Chain A
Amino acid sequence: MENSKDLWPKDLKLIDVRPPVAVLQEQGAILARRTKNLLRGRVDQIPGKKAFNFKFVIEAPTLPYEYDLFSIHYDIEMYPLSVRFEPSLYPTSPKRAGMKELGSEDEFTQFLQKVFNSEKTRKLITALLQLLERKTV
């Protein structure tokens, strides 16, 4: 073995890109922390045409209630990443309503920020927190 020639690239380190599912899990945990665990952002694996397919679910476990916000689909290279969502969450051309291709983690995080700050998501979170508050009164 000592005489064997190493044909592999010198730098085998992975590129510095987090898997999109990890980005979602992180945001799910942040939602739980911000709402004192009243709400959670859960990531579920779903069937799909790409190698990796997940959906992001906002859940209020004690109600119980949950809403599937959007799904992501990607192959081993991770990017470009496909997202599918309801058209009111993120503006796109009518022809591509409810779907978008994102080329990098930057584009993905920008997408997430827009979706999390959309009127629909804010309404959903507010409504769930109000229901949970009424439930505990």
Chain B
Amino acid sequence: MITFLFWNIGGRDLTERVRRLARTHRVDVLILCECGMAMEKLLSALNSAGGSGYLYSRGLCQRVTIVSRFAPELMTPIKESDYLTVRNMRLPGMQDLLLAAAHMPSKREWSDADQVFGCVSLAEDVLHAERLAGHSRTLLVGDLNMNPFEDGIVSAKGLHGVMTQQIAGRRSRIIKGKKYDFFYNPMWGLFGDRNQRPAGTYYYTKSVPKAYFWNMFDQVMVRPDLLERFPQNELAILDHDGMETLLDASGKPDGRKSSDHLPVKFQLSV
């Protein structure tokens, strides 16, 4: 299994918490948004007693940072922008994978329409990277700053993320003669508090009639080609770093001591 962990750490120095998370969950690929930590310090912490082999997987996308146990040459960037990095993962003994990691502009920076156009662009970029790589064994992960039910995520021209493996297993659908590939978006299954887990990855509300309170801005999606290798029960929103909670006393992400986003962990079988 390859273990991935995604976390928007909000520009804070959360070295110790990241180290604990990496250690506790034996993370192989760590994907951070708004990483304000010095890389040397982070690597030194990750590779301290008990942890080893983490390397900086260099890329030019400033909004996403990747640290991995895999050598950087096994995770080469093929398509990047200021909000996206797509890595072609060529791991020994495995079919190549594409890891697309994104940090889309927030709802403060972009209007609803901007976010939809942004998702259409993101979908086109991922598709383009798949053409460059010659396959569509793609994982898309990131802080998309949109919920799984919003237009840009759901729409066929956007990311086309659907809520069941069965639908995604049809691979694509045709609308007015044009084929649109699916993503499976397993984050739908993590909404709400039924399993004594956080009801989303980000909590936000203000005094307006429509408020979701919990949002699922941090998401992972998989292309149909990876469905069989994506164990659903290994997908989790984490509320604990192995030693301390990531939540405040009211059960929301602790933006003072940690990040206002919660990390997402997932695995892929080899």
Band of interface residues on A: 10 to 19
Cross-chain contact B79 with A47 (CB below 8 angstroms): no
Known contacts: A46-B124, A88-B62. The answer to whether A68 contacts B117 by CB under 8 A is no
Cross-chain contact B79 with A66 (CB below 8 angstroms): yes
Cross-chain contact B62 with A64 (CB below 8 angstroms): no
For A49, give its contact among B79, B117, B124, B132 (CB under 8 Å).
Answer: B117
Cα–Cα distance between A123 and B78 once the two chains are bound (Å): 16
- Which B residues lie within 8 Å of A123 (CB)? 60
The total of Cβ contacts below 8 Å across the A-B interface reads: 44
Verify if B269 is at the interface (C-beta below 8 Å from A): no
Verify if B89 is at the interface (C-beta below 8 Å from A): no
Cα–Cα distance between A88 and B82 once the two chains are bound (Å): 10
A32-58 Cβ-contact flags toward B at 8 Å (1 or 0): 000000000000001111000001000
Smallest CB separation, B148 vs chain A (Å): 20
Verify if A86 is at the interface (C-beta below 8 Å from B): yes
Smallest CB separation, A100 vs chain B (Å): 15
Cross-chain contact B82 with A65 (CB below 8 angstroms): no
Known contacts: A86-B62, A88-B62, A124-B60. The answer to whether A67 contacts B80 by CB under 8 A is yes
Cross-chain contact A46 with B121 (CB below 8 angstroms): yes
- Which B residues lie within 8 Å of A127 (CB)? 60
Known contacts: A49-B114, A88-B62. The answer to whether A65 contacts B79 by CB under 8 A is yes
Interchain Cβ contacts under 8 Å between A and B, 22 examples: A46-B117, A46-B121, A47-B117, A47-B120, A47-B124, A47-B157, A49-B113, A55-B121, A63-B78, A64-B132, A65-B78, A66-B132, A67-B60, A67-B81, A68-B82, A68-B84, A68-B125, A86-B81, A88-B62, A98-B82, A120-B60, A127-B60
